[in-house]
Amino acid sequence: MNRYGFLMPLSLPALAVLGYSLGGAWNFLTPVYSFALLPAVDLLSGHNPFRPGPSEIAYLERSVWYRVLLYLGAAAHFALLLFGAWAVTHAALPAYALWGFVLSVGTVSGSFGIVIAHELGHRMKSLDKLVSRAILTSVCYLHYFVEHNRGHHSRVATEADPASARYGESVYAFLPRCISGSFTHAWLLEKKRLVKSGCGPWHWSNPMLWSVVLPPAIAAALAYGFGPAAAVYFFVQAAVAVLLLETVDYIEHYGLSRRRLADGGYEKVSVAHSWNASQRLSSFYLFNLTRHPHHHIQSQRQYQALANEPNSPQMPAGYAGMILLALLPPLWRSVVHPCLERWRAGAAVRS
């Protein structure tokens, strides 16, 4: 099941196309499936306590199967984007169905495409990094490649990290702070790197410049090839994807913080600084992004070999369910704060 369960996320682009082919309100099939049916089924799917040993990790990371799935997913992501550009310009859809279809594509981009980009962005091979950058460019978020790998992972669970949600902070306060702060810090990281190399921040090799130039160029190309509506579609699906991505960031580190040390630095990142979700279905659909504590300890570990971390704070539901909770801050606090308090009490006993 672990081997073939990761085929499940490939159904998401297919659902968007199926909804379009059925027409009308079926164009909302993907978001309804993702945020209504999936959370309910996820609660019934049980938990996966998988913790591979050294020999199993070596076997899993040698397997070509799991790498092929990522590249199939990347191909499906780009195919859906192009299909969407054609669909919004050549189909006589009523307005509500058109917006439902664009929302569906954005949902797939955010919960499928960006997840693949995140995984490949941590790999060492040049091709993997290139595909990651291409996917992020397709959702107008190329700077994430810089900020996530070199900013977020070093500053996670600190006040300096815009992608770590503070205790009591609503998702609506978090999103603008995170999106603007991530871009600003990515620019500073690249500026520092390029100044040190003697190039200066306005050098053509600065990915931050490409992150601004490429999305309008892609939109213009889509408008030229399919029609003006394709450019609007491109930016709207990207906005949906980015909001979904950063809402996931919100739930992954909410209320967790690293202790400040006497020298002014922070304690080492541990399993205590990310929320873990062991729900079986979520793990498959998100390529084990749900095992986020282990990912932050070993960011180079491939998704199929990530371990469940029972000593981390545990999400009471899978990612889709937690996203829905986050949209209702009073409900979020009433559910998550007691979980956090119980985990802290347990951590105090264990220590």
pLDDT in tens, 288-319: 999 999 999 999 999 999 999 999 999 999 99
State residue 1's pLDDT score. Answer: 56
User: Which tens digits make up the pLDDT trace of 25-56?
Assistant: 999 999 999 999 999 999 998 999 999 999 99
Looking at residue 313, the DSSP 8-state letter turns out to be -
Q: Extract long-range pairs of 182-189: CB within 8 Å, 24+ residues apart.
A: 182/143, 182/144, 182/147, 182/151, 182/152, 183/143, 183/147, 185/147, 185/151, 186/143, 186/144, 186/146, 186/147, 186/151, 187/143, 189/146, 189/147, 189/150, 189/151
Please list, in sequence order, all residues whose beta carbon lies within 8 angstroms of the beta carbon of residue 211, skipping any fewer than 6 positions away: 137, 140, 141, 142, 143
Q: How many domains does the chain have?
A: 1
Percentages (nearest 5) of helix, strand, coil residues in the chain:
70, 0, 25
Helices (H) and strands (E) in the chain, counts: 18, 0
37 has which bridge partners? none
State residue 109's pLDDT score. Answer: 98
For 150, the domain range is 2-350
State residue 248's pLDDT score. Answer: 98
* Ranges in the chain, pLDDT < 70: 1, 349-351
| SS3 state of residue 266 | strand
Q: What count of other Cβ atoms lies within 10 Å of the Cβ of residue 179?
A: 18
- Cβ–Cβ < 8 Å for 152, 121: no
State residue 351's pLDDT score. Answer: 60
DSSP character string of 141-170: -THHHHHIIIIIHHHTTSTT-TTSPPTT--
Please list, in sequence order, all residues whose beta carbon lies within 8 angstroms of the beta carbon of residue 12, skipping any fewer than 6 positions away: 30, 34, 107, 108, 111, 112, 285
Q: Where are the alpha helices (H) located in 254-314, listed in sequence order?
A: 280-285, 292-297
